Copies of this chain bind each other. A is one copy, B any other.
Amino acid sequence: MSLLVTGSIAIDTIETPLGRVEEALGGSAVYFSLAAALFTPVRMVGVVGEDFDLDRFKPLADKPIDTSGVEVRRGSKTLRWHARYTGAMNSAETLRIELNVLAEHGAPVPPEFTDSRYVFLANTHPALQREFARQFTAADLLVCDTMNLWIENEPDELRKTLGVVHGLVLNEGEARLLTQQMNLVTAGREILKLGPRFVVIKKGEHGSLLVSHDDLFLVPPYPTERVLDPTGCGDSFAGGMMGYLASRGRFDRQTLRAAMARGSVVASFVLESFSVDALSRVTAADVERRLAELREMASFE
């Protein structure tokens, strides 16, 4: 099934206890697309400024990623993010953010992309997510992400968006903030009442939880020891998951479980380098190998 992502394309400067990278390729749409492309072709919709050298897309070359939906906006500048991770690197501290082009209007969806059947709306203003959603009239599966900023400042808009998507992906802190429920299973069930048929709660180094009307599933993290930079992990998880779902053309209980396991494995590679270095070099065989290990690692009698 055709898969499309709307999200950010960024120039990231990242500091972690193990190093630093300056002005590297980042953004939710980029991580998502590289992860999804391991399973299926992906259409990328986003916007950069005229300061964006298209050579930066080199890691996306030779992959089934269609970047024709990336607008290069004249007179605008690309999103820039400078962040630092400390300790167990479970959350980023934003040192500086220049929204630039993201503070303007959203990227236009090319007419030839509006027939996309599987669509992921990465984190942005929930009204803009809904504006995107409206254009995909043939969508079988619409999934979105969100963040604390919208949960706190745009709760009504977010609720409307949750009323039109089929799935929500968010992290544990966001799930608790959105529902005021500390227990994550309870939080997941509360979110289902807002509209989505399933919710995936990402727990960082602790894996992810699926709550749906007919399932409750825990996917463990692939326990890599080489954690250099967690940037893009969540978006790559979503990319791996959605890419697998689109490749199978269904999102029933068993397929959702299998898709989350793939997302978990793909995210483990992202941790092992700065920016998209490791992710852009991963092969389908690498994914299969870790998947087999993960399955073995989680089995018991």
Contacts and interface: CB of A to CB of B under 8 A. Distances in A.
Contact of A225 (B186, B205, B227, B261): B186
Nearest to A256: B300
Interface residue tally on A, bucketed by range: 35 or more
A97 interface: no
A111 interface: no
Interface stretch (A19-27, A39-47, A214-222): A214-222
Interface string A283-301: 0000000000001011111
Interface stretch (A49-57, A141-149, A151-159, A177-185): A177-185
Contact of A182 (B89, B185, B224, B297): B89
A260 interface: yes
Interface in A246-301: 254, 257-258, 260-261, 295, 297-301
Contacts of A87: 182
A16 to B, nearest CB: 11
Interface in A168-213: 176, 182-186, 189, 203, 205-207, 209
A64 interface: no
Contacts of A258: 300-301
A185 B300 contact: no
B297 A183 contact: no
A103 interface: no
Contacts of A299: 257
B300 A219 contact: yes
A59 interface: no
Contacts of A206: 203, 206-207
A298 B298 contact: yes
Contacts of A223: 184-185, 209, 216, 218
A66 to B, nearest CB: 29
Contact of A300 (B17, B225, B261): B261
26 contacts: A87-B182, A88-B182, A89-B182, A182-B227, A183-B227, A184-B223, A185-B223, A185-B224, A186-B225, A203-B206, A206-B206, A206-B207, A207-B218, A207-B220, A216-B297, A217-B298, A218-B298, A219-B300, A220-B298, A254-B301, A257-B300, A258-B300, A258-B301, A261-B300, A295-B300, A298-B298
Interface of A: 17, 87-89, 176, 182-186, 189, 203, 205-207, 209, 216-221, 223-225, 227, 254, 257-258, 260-261, 295, 297-301
Given A182-B227, A189-B225, A207-B220, 15 more contacts: A17-B182, A87-B182, A88-B176, A88-B182, A89-B182, A183-B225, A183-B227, A216-B297, A217-B300, A218-B298, A219-B300, A220-B298, A254-B301, A257-B300, A298-B298
